[in-house]
């Protein structure tokens, strides 16, 4: 049955390939948009995870501070798990760094009389999570600690952005999937209408419904498979083009190591998803129309 249906599908394509070809092109176009969106989204998540993997902390010290207190704070930080390098920045150095950050406007800011800067201890935590509440409160309670700056606000802002992006992304993905289903559905619908005479002949000759349906189901899957590979090729080309464009110098070359294309597992999952979409769309079209052509 499957072999006969496959031969039948090829015969049908040989006779009327225009509808299928336009279906493939339109489906590929939708899949390119969908795939690009998913790829950008995956990379954003990946980059954010990398960025948050190293949490930076600044401890503002009280003025004046005794050396033993400073030593105790440093020892406590070094005792924390996954802690990286520790750097002490003096009040004068902090002011210098701030002024340098203004680039061309440095001269103006040099003349401003800033309030006295505190001495700062900076450290990096090389783990996926931030300091625990217990660790943070212990640190804040130590003598000589004025404040601990954790960058939590930035993290919260990015989380809010991702929550919104998740919602919009989910909506877009559903919208594009519906588009793909409708395109395949319409292509099969047109194919069935074009072959309505043939279907009626087959029914008179005693063809069971599955014999008539299978070639159309295969056609739906074929559109999905061809469109999948076509769009994957286009997305890979665009990806390579963009990466080559933004990593042409030494400064940005390291981006190559961070951004990524779809993994084989993701590609496999997408492939199976699209075959299923093609099959479901074709099934919807055949069930609806062949019922009307019942003889």
Partner 1 sequence: MGKEPIFSNIDMEISKGEFTFLTGVSGAGKSTIFRLLLGLEKPDSGSITFNGAEVTAMVGDEKSRHRRSIGMIFQDYKLLEKRTAEDNIAIPLQINGISRNTKEIKIKDIASKLKIDNILKQQVRSLSGGEQQLVAIARAAVHSPKLILADEPTANLDQKMAGRIFDMLTLLNVEGITVIVATHDINLLKAHKRRILLLKQSCLIEVH
Choice from 4, 106, 132, 159 touching partner 1 (CB under 8 A): 4
Q: Does 82 bind partner 1 (CB under 8 A)?
A: no
Q: Does 15 bind partner 1 (CB under 8 A)?
A: yes
Query: How far apart are alpha carbons 193 and 293 in whole angstroms?
Result: 10
- Let me know if 168 is exposed, middle or buried by CB neighbors in 10 A (0-12, 13-18, 19+): exposed
Q: Does 198 bind partner 1 (CB under 8 A)?
A: yes
Token pair in block for residue 134 = 């217990």
Choice from 96, 127, 203, 260 touching partner 1 (CB under 8 A): 203
Query: How far apart are alpha carbons 216 and 212 in whole angstroms?
Result: 8
Nearer to partner 1, 143 or 208 (CB): 208
Q: How far is the CB of 212 from partner 1 (least distance, A)?
A: 10
Phi, psi of 37 (to 5 degrees): -60, -45
Q: How far is the CB of 169 from partner 1 (least distance, A)?
A: 45
Q: How far is the CB of 20 from partner 1 (least distance, A)?
A: 15
Q: How far is the CB of 184 from partner 1 (least distance, A)?
A: 24
b/e code 20-48 from CB counts within 10 Å (16+ = b): beebbebbbbbbbbbbbebbebbeeeeee
Other C-beta atoms within 10 Å of 61: how many? 20
Q: Does 2 bind partner 1 (CB under 8 A)?
A: no
Q: Does 162 bind partner 1 (CB under 8 A)?
A: no
Q: How far is the CB of 288 from partner 1 (least distance, A)?
A: 18
Which one of the spans 136-144, 153-161, 198-206, 256-264 is the region binding partner 1 (CB under 8 A)?
198-206
Q: Does 208 bind partner 1 (CB under 8 A)?
A: yes
Query: How far apart are alpha carbons 147 and 257 in whole angstroms?
Result: 36
The set of residues, in sequence order, having a beta carbon less than 8 Å from that of 178 and lying 6+ positions away, is none
Choice from 41, 211, 236, 271 touching partner 1 (CB under 8 A): 211
Q: Which residues bind partner 1 (CB under 8 A)?
A: 1, 4, 8, 11, 15, 197-198, 201-209, 211, 295
């Amino acid at each position: 049955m499957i072999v006969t249906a496959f031969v039948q599908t090829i015969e049908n394509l040989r006779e009327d390939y225009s509808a299928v070809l336009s279906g493939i092109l339109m489906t590929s176009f939708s899949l390119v948009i969908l795939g690009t969106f998913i790829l950008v989204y995956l990379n954003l998540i990946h980059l954010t995870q990398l960025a948050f993997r190293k949490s930076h902390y600044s401890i503002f010290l009280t003025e004046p501070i005794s050396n033993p207190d400073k030593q105790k704070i440093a020892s406590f930080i070094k005792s924390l798990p996954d802690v990286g390098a520790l750097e002490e920045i003096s009040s004068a150095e902090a002011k210098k760094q701030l002024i340098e950050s203004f680039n061309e406007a440095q001269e103006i800011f040099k003349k401003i009389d800033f309030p006295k800067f505190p001495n700062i201890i900076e450290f990096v935590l090389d783990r996926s999570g931030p300091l625990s509440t217990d660790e943070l409160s212990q640190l804040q309670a130590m003598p000589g600690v004025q404040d601990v700056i954790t960058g939590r606000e930035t993290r919260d802002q990015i989380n809010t952005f991702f929550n919104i992006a998740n919602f919009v992304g989910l909506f877009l993905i559903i919208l594009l999937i519906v588009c793909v289903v409708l395109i395949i559905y319409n292509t099969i619908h047109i194919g069935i209408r074009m072959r309505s005479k043939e279907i009626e002949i087959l029914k008179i000759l005693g063809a069971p419904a599955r014999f008539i349906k299978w070639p159309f189901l295969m056609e739906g899957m074929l559109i999905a498979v061809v469109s999948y590979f076509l769009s994957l090729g286009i997305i890979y080309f665009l990806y390579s083009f963009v990466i080559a464009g933004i990593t042409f110098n030494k400064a940005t070359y390291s981006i190559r190591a961070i951004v990524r294309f779809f993994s084989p597992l993701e590609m496999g999952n997408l492939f199976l998803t699209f075959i299923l979409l093609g099959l479901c769309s074709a099934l919807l079209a055949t069930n609806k129309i062949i019922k009307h052509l019942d003889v």
